[in-house]
Amino acid sequence: MVPVQEENREGVTMRIHRFVEKRPVLRTLPTQDPAVLHYVTEKTDIHQLEIILQNGATLVEPGALQYMFGQLQAEVIRHENKGFLARAVSSAGTGESAYATKYTGVGTIWCEPSRKHFILATMDADVDALILDDKAFYACSAGISLTSHRHNSVAGVLSGSGLMQPKLAGRGVFAVESPVPVEEVQTVELSHGQELVADGDIMLMYSAALTVEIGPLVRGLRNAIRSGEGLVYRFRGNGTVWLTPTAKIS
């Protein structure tokens, strides 16, 4: 097991580990008898998140815990102070659970291994607030809040990223799940007067300060059909967008 990334803030350290899973897979190999199947060993990268608390607190997605040790307390909390129906609607819209498990104290938490990739980052204040892709949130320190961002356009429901999306704001360290490794994530910095148009399927997260519109690439139903494109994101303003262009072929 090899640590590949680490971030820490305010008594919370998050560390990503990578190890290789080797498993036999049936394959037809080019031999004299094409009907004969052979077992070959394929290597797959597995990633695991370790969270170390030093009198700190962290929020983790429900069901992510593998084991923990130390002097730790766990409790289930609500992401937002809403009624049951409002939380259910937000949860359905964002793809995230309306609850999280909060761990506090001194000790170490190991999350379940995953074939997906993890990306660690920090934020310093609400000005760094981010909007995430559906189901991208995995864990954060307790100084960061997870709420729901609602798109004004109903077209957002059909964009592949939902009408509502998870929003992170505050100060601390956080982990998101990505379909591709961090070296394949492309960062686009926008300034006033510039526009980024991107397929919603490759959007990982973006600055909450950006102005975002979701709709067809071109106007008119016929033109939209002829373009072969679905609904796209249009980003304007000052901020950053993180994209995963290789996600569809990963």
Q: Are 80 and 100 in contact (CB under 8 A)?
A: no
Instruction: Give the tens place of pLDDT for each residue, 51-101.
Output: 999 999 999 999 999 999 999 999 998 865 544 334 333 444 444 456 889
pTM for this entry? 0.78
Map out the domains of the chain with their CATH numbers.
2-181 (3.60.160)
Q: Is 6 exposed, middle or buried (0-12, 13-18, 19+ CB in 10 A)?
A: middle
Instruction: Give the tens place of pLDDT for each residue, 3-28.
Output: 789 999 989 999 999 988 766 665 55
- Please report, for residues 25, 84, 117, 118, 246, the alpha-carbon distance to residue 45 in angstroms, rounded to integers and kept in the order given: 15, 39, 9, 12, 17
